[in-house]
Structure 1
Amino acid sequence: MILGRSSRFKNAYVWWVSIFLIIILLSFKYPVGQQLQLTIAPLLHAVQAPVRWYQGFSLWFEDSGDLQSSYTTLRESHAKQQALAMEVQALRAENIQLRTFLNIQQIQSYEWRVARVISRGPELKSRRLMVEIQHAQNDDVIVSQEGLVGLVAQTSDSHAVVRTILDASVTVPVTMFESDLAALVRGDGEHLRVDFVPLIKAPQIGDILVTSGAGGVFPAGLPVAKVEKVTAIDGGVFAEVVASPVASWQRDAWLAIVVKLNAPREE
């Protein structure tokens, strides 16, 4: 009895499978089959949904990872391009400064040698600089393309330490063009000061003080300072003058050393 039921079940299963296959084949050939396919399409779509979701999530994570990687690569490339552009801009600025020094009008009896700035003092307005220069000597004059910077204080084979005119140890004899003014400029770390200038000869705000050449250390005619303030001292005989350096060594990458021709040099 049990064997009979099992045999009938197998026969029924075979028939149902056969009918299902026939329906599938007919669905691709005849309109009725196509209608049947349309009828069961929602069921097939629902059955396949988990597979589609899994594939969608997998693709999303893969695409997200690819996008993140591409974004990181793009940011790194952009940062490199920005750094390269800044370097090119700095090189252009240095090149302009260098050409300015090479074409600068020579002062009689002096020669100019270009020096590269490699470090500055920590002050807002540096009182010390280090430059790369061969065979410099103490008290050699350092200038920028705008004017006087200072004096060499220490030297080595290829470097020199420069005291700028803001340093209190540097005193510069100055005058003005078409004037008989004779005065001394000294630094106080932040500004330049000219003490005890006769009031009748005192410069005006905005005037430029230049080296007079007195003492033989500085060549005559180098721009030194621009007058910012003039104050009469009690008694009305003298004036105190406050000025700022003309040279902008805080940002310049190149300076120049001024060497007197035919002057004895230490070996």
Structure 2
Amino acid sequence: MKPLFNPGPSLNARVILAILMALGLLVADHRQHHLELLRTALSLLTYPLQLAADRPSQLFREARERLASQDRLRDENSELHRENLLLKARLQQFEALEAENARLRELLGSSLDVGERVLIAEIMAVELAPYRQQVLLNKGTNAGVFVGQPVLDANAVMGQVIRVNPFSSVVLLITDSDHALPVEVNRNGLRTIAAGTGPNHDLELLYIPKNADIQVGDLLVTSGMDGRFPPGYPVARVKTVRQDPDNPFTTVLAEPTARLDRSREVLLVWNLNETSRLQALTAEALKPKNMAP
């Protein structure tokens, strides 16, 4: 009986035949490029399969890059936030330095206008008691500060030194209820006493007759009658003039010209005339006296 299926050539013969055909195709493609169209057609057919096979890895890469970008952006945002805070802090320091330089320029300009020997001091503390108007300065006897020394800011008289230590001093402000200062109206030379009112932060002019020539807005300056404050320093401006039937004197209130609640640097003033007199007396006292024969 004949077999239903012809076994055909052997497996080895088939392998050899396939190798020969592959070599033939390689040689033909290398020399004649006859398979270029076939390769292009096959690549078009297999591209969807390649795309589908590469899609999971592509999605994984995109997710990883997105997470990395978010982490990087988060880190950059935190770094920028820290830098922003640092720059804002430095900007505040620059603004404070700029304001301090402006105050110092005002003080130096004021010292040139005053024409006296002056020393710049800084306010270290403020007395917070309601009936005490005092400040603490960072200059003391080591800098030549003495009790009774006048203290000014860039605008006007602030007060006088009442206590001194080697490295600090206490200043009684002109608004303190225990402070009184001889002043005169700059417009007409009317002399009076400006007394502090304590918590009201005003000055009251004492013993003003009812027929006195004084008006709202008049500038009060030191008269120099006390021998402590040199004459001509601004003190305050009149803000209230009131006639009371029960009071034999005119009630006059004045607002200090100095920035008592805002100044940080102040001027300690020496009267040049007084300083020269004291130096002359000291020099005279140190001269050797002629011995009697």
TM-score by structure 2 length?
0.69
Aligned-pair CA distance for 1:112:
1.2
Aligned residue for 2:145, secondary structure, equals: coil
Equivalent residue in structure 2 for 1:248, among 259, 264, 285:
259
SS in 1 for 2:200: coil
Which residues in structure 2 correspond to 1:183-202 (within 5 Å)? 183-194=193-204, 195-201=206-212
- The structure 2 residue matched to 1:224, chosen from 206, 214, 235, is 235
Distance between the aligned counterparts of 1:122 and 1:66, measured in 2?
52
Retained in 2: the 8 A contact 1:132–1:158?
yes
Partner of 1:130: 136
Match of 1:199, SS state, is coil
Verify: 1:207 aligned to 2:218, yes or no. Answer: yes
Percent identity, aligned pairs only, is: 22
What is the alpha-carbon distance in structure 2 between the residues aligned to residue 161 and residue 196 of structure 1? Answer: 29
User: Structure 2 vs 1, CA of residues 68 and 246 (structure 1 numbering), >3 Å: closer, same or farther?
Assistant: same
Q: Which amino acid aligns with 1:258?
A: V
Whether the 8 Å CA contact 2:219–2:237 is kept in 1: the answer is yes
Determine if the alignment matches structure 1 residue 163 to structure 2 residue 172.
yes
The alpha-carbon deviation at position 91 of structure 1 amounts to 2.5
Of 67, 74, 80, the match for 1:74: 80
Deviation at 1:122, TM superposition (A): 4.7
Q: Does 1:257 align with 2:268?
A: yes
Please give the per-residue CA displacement for 1:101-133, whole angstroms capped at 9, x wherever unaligned: 33434657x521111223334589x93322222
Q: After TM superposition, give the deviation of residue 160 of structure 1 in Å.
A: 1.8
TM-superposed CA distance for 1:257, in Å, is: 0.5
Deviation string 1:150-201 (CA, Å, 9 cap, x unpaired) is: 1223322222222222222222222111322323331322321324422322
Instruction: Indicate if the aligned counterparts of 1:183 and 1:197 stay in contact, CA closer than 8 A.
Output: no
Alpha-carbon distance in 2 for matches of 1:170, 1:57: 78
**Closer/same/farther in 2, CA of residues 35 and 86 from structure 1, 3 Å limit:** same
How far did residue 254 of structure 1 move? Answer: 1.7
Letter in 2 for 1:192: D
Q: One-letter code of the match for 1:143?
A: L
Tell me how far apart the structure 1 counterparts of residues 259 and 277 of structure 2 sit (CA, whole Å): 28
Q: Which amino acid aligns with 2:150?
A: V
Give 1 or 2 for the bigger CA radius of gyration: 2
Amino acid at match of 1:173: P
Of 186, 190, 204 in structure 2, the residue corresponding to residue 180 of structure 1 is 190
CA spacing shift, 1:167–1:236, aligned 2, 3 Å:
closer
Match for residue 45 of structure 1?
A: 51
1:50-73 CA-to-partner distances (Å, cap 9, x unmatched) read 322222222222222222222222
CA apart distance, 1:225: 1.2
Query: Could you give the per-residue CA deviations for residues 228-266 of structure 1, whole angstroms, max 9, x where no partner exists?
Result: 22221224742222222211143333211012315769x
| 2:159 is the alignment partner of 1:150 | yes
The answer as to 2:36 corresponding to 1:30 is yes
Is it true that 1:120 corresponds to 2:126 in the alignment?
Answer: yes
Normalized against structure 1, the TM-score is what? 0.75
Equivalent pair of 1:144/1:256 in contact (CA under 8 Å): yes
Please give the per-residue CA displacement for 1:181-223, whole angstroms capped at 9, x wherever unaligned.
3233313223213244223225322222112222223222111
Alignment partners' CA distance in 1, 2:63 and 2:133: 65
Match of 1:234 among 228, 237, 245: 245
Counterpart-to-counterpart distance in 2, 1:263 and 1:85: 49
RMSD (CA atoms):
3.2
Q: Which runs of 5+ in 1 are unaligned?
A: 1-7
Q: Residue type matched to 1:193 in 2?
A: L
Q: Which has the higher strand share?
A: 1
Q: Secondary structure at the match of 2:88?
A: helix
Deviations 1:1-60 (A, max 9, x none): xxxxxxx9xx9xxx9xxx9xx9xxx9xx73333333333333333333332222222222
Q: Is the 8 A contact 1:116 1:132 kept in 2?
A: yes
| Per-residue deviation, 1:144 | 0.5
- Deviates further, 191-200 or 215-224: 191-200
